[in-house]
């Protein structure tokens, strides 16, 4: 089984993407996670370009890795200097990384823009690599920037730049589609010609996704003999991003039979992907191949029915292999098979066709009026409970109120300046009634805090219920101010994340309905669990 090296550049090239900003600790944490997955190389940054990257190389020395090698990135020396006088080459040496990776110009267009002659550019490539190899006594990789554009412009010169890197002692030559516009057949033609012209080279591939072909171009390069892939987790990076290593890894190991990671480690791919998205404050694309939340989500009733009988009918790989999971979605498009598949473990009594039909009818009616249950498992569960006789409310909401500031000078009131709103809620638990008020940053936060306070004495466990997301969508915008809004709230409770939904022309009322459903759902689940324990 052929080994393909994985060189991760999430921490350097990936951070050039719009909206991507990683702290020093984020970079160190991601490095540890990449080592746990079994990645071969991690490009930590460009020492000398900014203080954070300098600090990274200082602090990463104190970490112990299973097999991971840390790479310091840079460029060839400047046109008007020699290697021994170049500031950035000196910083690469000071970084004391496990290896260095520098880029140089392969495209005659770029050679002119930096004020170099073609011969001077070749000297810079060879001289920089020789100098780094001599001073660090460690491997030097060479990124042939814009190689494929250079090959299209002047094949002979592009190949000559690679030969200069080989002459300088580069252990890997990484061919870069820096503009991300190459096509797979162009990748193949250029590599075939290069391999014929330059003997004994170990090739890598580094492509961007501007043409939407980064994964295809990477796989084609490997077919032509490349032994290393450079990319980022989740494909983050400048413009349209780098090649997504999660997609490449899954295809190489599961489809093409290459070995990229230690045996069994591919199962950690989904977890790593989502961890990186969390560092970026994002959930990532729902339909991200292999690792996305919707990568194995089934909505159509025909699809779900088929998958229940044989997953291969609508799944190209098993989600378990890469640590993902199958998801059955409930909507107006669902069939009875969706509902039975989703709730088979929790409500086995749903085998009755009449009950299933009634539940689906209500779902369809509610979705027609603006509800959506795809991400509202809590609200969906409450509907099912009503039909199977398990809807046993543990509290009754009586009313809520939102208080504005009265008799205050709004320009000086501290609460107004801090954006605080006061809410009061009244609920009944058994024979006891509780009225509580709380302040929050906005009406929804205030309502949530007041409701939790009102229920805490009877249900101390409610302190573990945390609001994690809140979103609002206007349903019928043509109605303008009379339009309905759909509010989706997400909570975490006892290790589970779930959503509930409310719909109303009043955003506060819709939010209140979604909030109370979240409390009903979580407390019903908890009460049932406690009862089971004491049986």
| Mean pLDDT computed over every residue of the chain | 89
pLDDT in the model for residue 377: 87
* Cβ-based neighbour number of residue 341 at 10 Å: 18
Tens digit of each residue's pLDDT (9 = 90 or more) over 259-270: 999 999 999 999
Predicted TM-score (pTM) above 0.85: no
- Tally the C-alpha atoms within 13 A of residue 359's C-alpha that lie toward its C-beta: 31
Query: Which of 275, 271, 276, 284 is closest to 325 using CA atoms?
Result: 271
Helix, coil or strand: residue 507: helix
Greatest mean pLDDT range, 60-64, 358-362, 363-367: 60-64
Close Cβ partners of 196 (under 8 Å, ≥ 6 residues apart): none
DSSP string, 316-339: SS-GGGGT---EE--STT--HHHH
Predicted confidence band at 412 (pLDDT cuts at 50, 70, 90)? very low
- Tally the C-alpha atoms within 13 A of residue 206's C-alpha that lie toward its C-beta: 28
Q: Is 90 exceeded by the pLDDT of residue 225?
A: yes
Residues 10-20 as b or e (16 or more Cβ within 10 Å = b): bbbbbbebeeb
Predicted confidence band at 335 (pLDDT cuts at 50, 70, 90)? low
Average pLDDT over residues 362-366: 82
CA dist 427 and 437 (Å) reads: 12
Q: Say which residue, 30 or 305, is predicted with more confidence.
A: 30
Looking at residue 302, the DSSP 8-state letter turns out to be H
pLDDT in the model for residue 329: 67
Helix, coil or strand: residue 427: strand
pLDDT in the model for residue 528: 67
Greatest mean pLDDT range, 29-43, 389-403, 443-457: 29-43
Helix, coil or strand: residue 105: strand
User: For residue 105, what are its two tokens?
Assistant: 């110009």
Q: Is 70 exceeded by the pLDDT of residue 351?
A: no
Asked if 124 contacts 132 with a C-beta cutoff of 8 angstroms, the reply is no
pLDDT in the model for residue 234: 97
Predicted confidence band at 534 (pLDDT cuts at 50, 70, 90)? very low
As beta bridge partners, residue 228 has 5, 204
Query: Which of 424, 358, 397 is closest to 514 using CA atoms?
Result: 397
DSSP string, 125-154: HHHHHHHHHHHH-S-EEEEEETHHHHHHH-
Predicted confidence band at 338 (pLDDT cuts at 50, 70, 90)? low
Do strands 496-504 and 485-493 pair parallel, antiparallel, or not at all (unpaired)? Answer: antiparallel
Average pLDDT over residues 285-306: 81
Do strands 172-177 and 140-145 pair parallel, antiparallel, or not at all (unpaired)? Answer: parallel
Query: Which of 327, 391, 335, 328 is closest to 363 using CA atoms?
Result: 335
User: For residue 256, what are its two tokens?
Assistant: 């093409």
pLDDT in the model for residue 407: 46
Asked if 427 contacts 396 with a C-beta cutoff of 8 angstroms, the reply is yes
Q: Is 70 exceeded by the pLDDT of residue 272?
A: yes
Average pLDDT over residues 261-284: 93
Q: Is 50 exceeded by the pLDDT of residue 512?
A: yes
Q: Find the helix packing angle between 118-136 and 155-168, rounded to 10°.
A: 20
pLDDT in the model for residue 360: 79
Q: Is 80 exceeded by the pLDDT of residue 271?
A: yes
Query: Which of 443, 128, 32, 365 is closest to 120 using CA atoms?
Result: 128
pLDDT in the model for residue 170: 97
Tens digit of each residue's pLDDT (9 = 90 or more) over 481-509: 567 899 999 999 888 889 999 999 999 99
Asked if 225 contacts 197 with a C-beta cutoff of 8 angstroms, the reply is no
Tens digit of each residue's pLDDT (9 = 90 or more) over 123-164: 999 999 999 999 999 999 999 999 999 999 999 999 999 999
Mapping DSSP onto H, E and C, the string for 12-81 reads CCHHHCCCCCCCHHHHHHHHHHHHHHCCCEEEEECECCEHHHHHHHHHHHHCCCCCCEEEEEEECCCCCC
Least confident range of 83-92, 220-229, 321-330, 525-534:
525-534
Q: Say which residue, 342 or 146, is predicted with more confidence.
A: 146
Q: Is 80 exceeded by the pLDDT of residue 378?
A: yes
pLDDT in the model for residue 140: 98
pLDDT in the model for residue 134: 96
Q: Is 90 exceeded by the pLDDT of residue 358?
A: no
Q: Any idea how long the chain is? A: 535
Greatest mean pLDDT range, 174-183, 273-282, 338-347: 174-183
Average pLDDT over residues 418-428: 85
Asked if 100 contacts 72 with a C-beta cutoff of 8 angstroms, the reply is yes
Tens digit of each residue's pLDDT (9 = 90 or more) over 448-473: 999 999 999 889 999 999 998 899 98
Q: Is 70 exceeded by the pLDDT of residue 418?
A: no
Looking at residue 296, the DSSP 8-state letter turns out to be T
């Amino acid at each position: 089984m052929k080994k393909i090296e994985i060189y991760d550049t999430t921490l350097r090239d990936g951070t050039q993407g719009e909206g991507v900003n990683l702290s020093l600790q984020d970079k160190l944490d991601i490095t540890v996670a990449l080592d746990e997955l079994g990645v071969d190389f991690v490009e930590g940054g460009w020492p000398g370009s900014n203080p954070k990257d300098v600090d990274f190389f200082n602090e990463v020395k104190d970490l112990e890795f299973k097999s991971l090698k840390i790479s310091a990135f840079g460029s060839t020396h400047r046109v008007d200097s020699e290697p021994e006088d170049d500031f950035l080459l000196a910083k690469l040496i000071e970084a004391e990384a496990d290896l260095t990776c520098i880029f140089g110009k392969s495209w005659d267009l770029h050679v002119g823009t930096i004020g170099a002659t073609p011969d001077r550019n070749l000297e810079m490539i060879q001289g920089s690599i020789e100098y780094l190899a001599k001073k660090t006594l460690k491997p030097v990789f060479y990124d042939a920037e814009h190689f494929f554009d250079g090959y299209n412009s002047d094949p002979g010169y592009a190949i000559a730049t690679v030969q200069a890197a080989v002459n300088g002692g580069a252990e890997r030559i990484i061919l870069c589609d820096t503009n991300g516009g190459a096509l797979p057949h162009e990748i193949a033609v250029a590599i075939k010609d290069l391999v014929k012209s330059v003997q004994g080279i170990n090739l890598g591939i580094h492509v961007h996704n501007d043409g939407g072909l980064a994964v295809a171009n990477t796989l084609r390069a490997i077919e032509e003999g490349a032994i290393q892939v450079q990319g980022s987790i989740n494909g983050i990076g400048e413009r349209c991003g780098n090649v997504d290593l999660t997609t490449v890894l899954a295809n190489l190991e599961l489809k093409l039979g290459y070995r990229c990671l230690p045996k069994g480690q591919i199962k950690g791919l989904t977890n790593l992907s989502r961890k990186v998205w969390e560092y970026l404050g994002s959930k990532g694309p729902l339909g991200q191949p292999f690792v996305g939340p919707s990568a194995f989500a089934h909505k159509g009733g025909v699809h779900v029915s088929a998958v229940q009988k044989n997953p291969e009918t609508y799944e190209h790989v098993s989600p378990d292999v890469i640590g993902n999971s199958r998801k059955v979605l409930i909507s107006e498009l669902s069939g009875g098979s969706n509902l039975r598949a989703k709730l088979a473990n929790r409500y086995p009594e749903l085998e009755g066709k009449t009950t299933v039909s009634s539940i689906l009818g209500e779902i369809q009616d509610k979705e027609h009026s603006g509800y959506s249950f795809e991400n509202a498992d809590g609200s969906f569960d409450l509907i099912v409970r009503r039909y199977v006789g398990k809807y046993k409310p543990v509290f009754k909401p009586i009313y809520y109120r939102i208080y504005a500031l009265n008799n205050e000078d709004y320009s000086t009131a501290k609460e107004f300046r801090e954006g605080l709103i006061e809410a009061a809620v009244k609920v009944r638990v058994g024979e006891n009634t509780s009225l509580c008020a709380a302040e929050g940053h906005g009406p929804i936060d205030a309502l949530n805090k007041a409701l939790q306070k009102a229920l805490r004495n009877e249900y101390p466990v409610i302190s573990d219920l945390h609001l994690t997301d809140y979103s609002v969508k206007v349903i019928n915008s043509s109605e303008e101010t009379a339009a309905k809004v759909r509010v989706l709230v997400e909570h975490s409770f006892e290790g589970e994340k779930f959503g509930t939904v409310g719909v109303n022309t009043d955003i506060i009322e819709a939010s209140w309905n979604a909030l109370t459903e979240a409390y009903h759902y979580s407390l019903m689940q908890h009460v049932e669990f406690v009862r089971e324990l004491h049986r």
